[in-house]
Amino acid sequence: MTHFTTRWTTLSHLIADDRKREHVYSFFDAMFQSKYGTDKVKIRQLVSGVELEELSSARIRLYAQRKKYYETLFGNIYAVDEIDTRSFIFAFYYEDRIVGTQRVTPYPHEAPRYIEAERLQGFVAPGYPGNCVEFSRLIIDKTSPVKGAVDALASTAGAMVALNTPFSQYITYVKPRLQERFTQFSFDQDALLFQISERGDHPYALFKGNLLSAVINFFKIDCRPEDLTSMDVLIDLISRTHFAEAL
């Protein structure tokens, strides 16, 4: 079946060269397959219209597992929007079925829809918004047999964006009570609290951080941010540590 989304695309592959991209994916596949004890998992960036069709179907299925409100984010027919077309989107697959997705978006972001521009600029500065991406639309299948897909998605997306784009900072927002679940993010200490009225009267917390620092912290590598210059360097550093084995 062909829908309008097949005419849409997202931002291009972060690694343009097919051979280099597959080399990186193979390394991360092996690492996360070791972590989860199965060769049925992989993470990929979604780019084509066909892949967006798959993303749309997955979102409809996954958001249906949540509160009714979340269905209104996209609707129940097509779960792809304009922001997706200018984002880097990653999917976590189990047995070739999407069980988790993560969106990483250059400016303009979603957060300014809910937070006054002056407040947001004062919190995230300096360099905002040009040096910053926003992590959003993270969702994991509640029925997935694989636990911990959040870590794999966020770390892969963070590393790919940090080392293949000029962006150096990120923002993301979660409910404050969920903050401890997002240990893969190297959050700065402070957070900006705000509300999204259509989602209820509970607060959300906007966090910020440095992309390279987040990558270093997650993979537990001994490296200064300025020395982490490419995916090849990252792979080499991970391979020298016990991180892969410990997974």
Tell me the pTM. Answer: 0.90
User: Is the dihedral angle over the CA atoms 214, 218, 219, 224 positive or is it negative?
Assistant: positive
Q: What is the mean pLDDT of the chain?
A: 87
Total domains in the fold of the chain: 1
CATH code for the domain of 196? 3.40.630.30
Query: Average pLDDT in the 223-234 region?
Result: 96
The predicted-structure confidence for 127-172, as pLDDT tens digits, reads as follows 999 999 999 999 999 999 998 899 999 999 999 999 999 999 999 9
Segments forming the whole domain that contains residue 54? 4-246
The predicted-structure confidence for 26-66, as pLDDT tens digits, reads as follows 999 999 999 999 999 999 999 999 999 999 999 999 988 88
